[in-house]
Amino acid sequence: MMHIDIISLFPEMFCGFLEHSIVKRAKEKRCVTITLHNLRDYSNDKHRSVDDEPYGGGAGMVMSIDPIAHCLKALQPADEIIFLTPDAPVLTQKTANELSLKKHIIFLCGHYKGIDERVREHFITREISIGDYVLSGGEMAAAVVTDAVVRLIPGVLNDETSALSDSFQNDGLLSPPVYTRPADYNGWKVPDILLSGNDRLIAEWRYEQSLQRTKAKRSDLL
């Protein structure tokens, strides 16, 4: 079983996300446990403050090292301590695959102008971005990474081969187009090859379609 700890200033943001779809199923199947931690609970300040003005001046506030260090020390040991930040390598399927094999992951959600750099230097083992843009906080990024990882844990999906056919899993290509009943809708027909029952030819067709789709939509992947 995997265990995920999420450290946040707004843990209530995860409540709906954790109680629906694949993540909820993973919890019910006891494939994963997810615990939310309010960083303010680890503050020694009477006002539960977790931020301060940056040294050297400038706009914004910086998340302080002391409450973060206190929290991380209480939750360790962990396989990975991950900081969600826009100035990090962007999440890939390969990264999600790697993380799905871990037993204990800690996500730290940033806010304001970021966290004291010493946290990144001495505690964080991996940094992940979900894109080249800035969000108000790391909570949505943590939810995205959690979803991408949890669905890959063995036993979560009813058909475990389903994840293997996702985009980026096969040679880094996008998934081929998919169809379901009816075979003819308003004259829009499903490709004959998919109705042939010939598994070899269907596999070849899907690979060629994946290649064409990747060239057209994400040539950078090639």
What confidence tens digit (pLDDT) does each residue in 80-130 have? 999 999 999 999 999 999 999 999 999 999 999 999 999 999 999 999 999
**Residue 95: burial class (beta carbons within 10 Å; 0-12, 13-18, 19+):** middle
Give tens-digit pLDDT for 16-51: 999 999 999 999 999 999 999 999 999 998 889 999
Q: What is the CATH number of domain 2-150?
A: 3.40.1280.10
In the block, which residue shows the tokens 């999906």? Answer: 157
User: What distance in Å separates the CA atoms of residue 109 and residue 5, rounded to the nearest whole number?
Assistant: 11
Q: Pick 167-221's CATH classification: 2.170.190.11, 1.10.8.60, 1.10.230.10, 1.10.1270.20.
A: 1.10.1270.20
Give strand pairing partners of 111. 137
Listed in order, the ranges of the chain carrying CATH 3.40.1280.10 are: 2-150
> Does the pTM of the predicted model rise above 0.85?
yes
Whether residue 182 is preceded by a cis peptide bond, meaning omega within 30 degrees of 0, is yes
- Where do we find the tokens 């946290």? 119
- Chain centroid to CA 180: 29
